[in-house]
């Protein structure tokens, strides 16, 4: 069973404390919401969980059946959706999906790609260049990339950023489905979203 343990985690930027004493334990089928005002360190905490930044103190451990996983061990089972993450504008929607699946080690069929694009409300737009997508469409495509990976660890920063009402409903549907079969972490201040999570991690308060 895949497990995340965050133990007494602290992050300082120079003399400025971002957060400290963060503790969290999650397994597959469990979810947590990181909540807090702007600048409280929600995205920083996500980066620490992803292993893309060093903590000042404490540690983040992913393990499976008691055995600690290294970066590549959990990275290949992790997906992130965030407004700070971009896809390739010079490639089409299909090319982006095919590229991210392929570098992850999987060849995907057109049917699979069409299926995820339909799920996120981008059916029929796969041949368009991502550079021509609206911000909301780009956000939907990030969910399509994540869904195609079928992650066991799903991190979502500001889940409904840049999305219209229909997009928000799609995303909440995805979150409800993924919380059953993945280790889900949301970083959000939207009540309707953090209420979907089973645990809370309050920052900046």
Partner 1 sequence: MPGSSVSWAAKVLAVTRKDITAEFRTRYAINSILMFALVTLTVISMALGLMTPDSDLMAALFWVILFFAAMSGLAQVFIKEEEAGTALILKLSTEGLVIFFGKLIFNLLLLTVLSVLIVPLFIILLKVTPQNWAVFLIGLVLGDIGLAGATTIIAAIVAKATVKGALFTVLSFPILLPLLMAVIDITKVAFGGGNFGDISTGLQLLVAYDVVMVTVSVMLFDFVWRQ
- Where does this chain bind partner 1 (CB under 8 A)? 50-54, 71-72, 75, 78-80, 82, 84-91, 95, 99-109, 112, 115-116, 142, 145, 147-148, 150
The count of other CB atoms within 10 Å of the CB of residue 54 is: 8
3-state secondary structure 125-176: CCCCEHHHCCHHHHHHHHHHHHHHHCCCEEEEECCCCCCCHHHHHHHHHHHH
Q: How near is the Cβ of 53 to partner 1 at its closest, in Å?
A: 7
What is the closest distance, in whole angstroms, from the C-beta atom of residue 43 to partner 1 in the complex? Answer: 11
Please give the Cα distance from 117 to 174 (Å, whole number): 13
The span from the CA of 18 to the CA of 100, in Å, is 32
Please, which residue, 10 or 108, has the CB nearer to partner 1? Answer: 108
CB of 76 to partner 1, least distance (A): 8
Q: How far is the CB of 102 from partner 1 (least distance, A)?
A: 4
Nearer to partner 1, 118 or 192 (CB): 118
């Amino acid at each position: 069973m895949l497990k995340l343990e965050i133990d007494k985690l602290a992050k300082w930027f120079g003399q400025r404390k971002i957060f400290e004493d963060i503790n969290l334990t999650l397994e597959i089928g469990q979810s947590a919401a990181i909540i807090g005002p702007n600048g409280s360190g929600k995205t920083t905490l996500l980066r620490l969980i992803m292993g893309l930044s060093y903590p000042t103190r404490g540690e983040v451990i992913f393990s499976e059946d008691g055995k600690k996983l290294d970066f590549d061990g959990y990275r290949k089972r992790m997906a992130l959706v965030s407004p700070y993450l971009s896809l390739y504008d010079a490639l089409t929607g299909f090319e982006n999906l095919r590229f991210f699946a392929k570098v992850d080690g999987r060849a995907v069929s057109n049917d699979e790609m069409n299926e995820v694009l339909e799920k996120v409300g981008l059916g029929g737009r796969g041949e368009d260049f991502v550079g021509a997508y609206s911000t909301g469409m780009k956000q939907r495509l990030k969910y399509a990339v994540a869904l195609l990976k079928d992650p066991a660890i799903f991190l979502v920063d500001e889940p409904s950023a840049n999305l219209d009402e229909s997009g928000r409903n799609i995303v909440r549907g995805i979150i409800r489905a993924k919380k059953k079969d993945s280790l889900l972490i949301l970083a959000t201040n939207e009540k309707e979203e953090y209420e979907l999570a089973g645990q809370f991690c309050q920052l900046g308060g």
